[in-house]
Amino acid sequence: MTHSWERPASFTLQNGLQVVVIVDHRTPVVTEMIWYKVGSADEKSGKSGLAHFLEHLMFKGTAIHPAGEFSQTVGRIGGNENAFTSLDYTAYFQRVPREQLARMMDFEADRMTGLILKDENVRPEREVVLEEFNMRVANNPDARLNEQIMAALYLNHPYGRPVIGWHQEIEKLDREDALAFYRRFYAPSNAILVIAGDVEPADIRPLVERNFGSIPAQPAIPARRVRPQEPEPAAPRTVTLADPRVEQPGLRRYYLVPSATTAAAGESAALDVLAQLMGSGSNSYLYRALVVDKPLAVSASASYSSISLDPTQFAISASPKSGVSFAEVEQVVDGVIADIAQNPIRAEDLERVKTQLIAEAIYAQDNQAVLARWYGGALTTGLSIEDIRSWPDRIRAVTAEEVRTVAQKWLEKKRSVTGYLIKDTGAAKREEKRS
């Protein structure tokens, strides 16, 4: 079977800017996304949260386009825009009527090197980020548990630091930090421009040349990002987070596993299939074992984050029913893993999950923004356009034996951190005593 999607056009400017054009003529709309190959894992130790802080500051304007003009223009023409930071990349996007693309590109090229930061802009924005930290992390027990698991999973690699940063380090970030980071990493040679929508590749090239062509490359940026790597995991770890706001106790286990970029041939696709088999939907092994067969949990799932420059996570989560202990749930989880590691997967199960995964990839073609995100995320973490396009073929090629092998090799207890989210009843009682 051939793919339903065409190969995106791709070219690279002299200054190193890689451009990917995904043609989609169904609506007169275009999505422009610029991806910088820098994320929180590229920050210096002690400066956590800097990549994300700079993402906020990128909206503060330039000499040509003062603060607010870019966003107001996008709003006025009925478009939408946003930005996001991850461990490995920072991306900015606008989705606008097709005829507005040239204008968007002018704005985006201008802020690649023209950002102007004044202390009176930087300080209030730092307060905004601290407020976001309070909302998204401090007041969210789920997010706090995730933060604690990641910090325990990565002993040496910067993925152990939260993208948003540690509170006491965010407080100290200043204008100089942001500008140094910006000058170091924001350059055409460290970026990928993805244009998806109602465009012709032949028209895009002159447009990109005109806007980005004269921006100098940044030769100081190394071709490969080299980070401290994890030692061979030696001991399973557990973390317990107690919070008075927890309504539903939760169990989460993360395993340190290879990403699509670091895996041996075929391994990443086998991990995709394994995650789907174990924990996606009501037919999955974990759901059947924990929610259907002996109802010990209200939910159960598994996922694998393949898009990552360095080793990534395979995650399992379950919410025990009232009165059910974590130990009972874990015993079943361990049993499901042992069963997969020891016995070949049933052919019909393997076919079902492969079909589901490939169908999801095909549905994703229906949304240009999803497609642009897919390519951007994969390309900034070391994959090629060919890797992205051949993914369905690699899924199709996964054998039952390969699934068994990855389960055996990577879902090993000592490669894991198990997190328990529990209600802190003591806090409520302590409050009562005080009052």
Question: Of 55, 81, 125, 267, which residue is the catalytic one?
Answer: 55
Q: Dihedral of CA 19/24/28/29: which sign?
A: negative
Find out whether 95 and 70 touch, Cβ atoms under 8 Å: no
Distance of CA 411 to the CA centre of its chain: 21
Q: Name the helix (H) or strand (E) containing 192.
A: strand 191-197
Find out whether 255 and 313 touch, Cβ atoms under 8 Å: yes
User: Is residue 22 classed as helix, strand or coil in its secondary structure?
Assistant: strand
Distance of CA 7 to the CA centre of its chain: 24
Which candidate, 53, 44, 127, 39, places its Cα nearest to that of 89? 39
DSSP per-residue letters across 267-331: HHHHHHHHHHHHHSSTTSHHHIIIIIIS--EEEEEEEE----SS-EEEEEEEEEPTT--HHHHHH
**Residue corresponding to tokens 């995964």:** 357
Could you tell me which residues come within 8 angstroms of residue 288 by beta carbon, excluding any fewer than 6 positions away? Answer: 282
Find out whether 416 and 253 touch, Cβ atoms under 8 Å: yes
User: Is residue 158 classed as helix, strand or coil in its secondary structure?
Assistant: helix
Percentage helix, strand, coil, to 5, in the chain? 50, 20, 35
Q: Is 55 a catalytic residue?
A: yes
Distance of CA 175 to the CA centre of its chain: 27
Query: What one-letter code names the amino acid at 395?
Result: I
Which candidate, 251, 243, 275, places its Cα nearest to that of 407? 275
Could you tell me which residues come within 8 angstroms of residue 423 by beta carbon, excluding any fewer than 6 positions away? Answer: 242, 243, 244, 246, 247, 249
Separation CA 269–CA 5 (nearest Å): 20
Which candidate, 171, 220, 191, 178, places its Cα nearest to that of 55? 178
Q: Report the catalytic residues.
A: 55
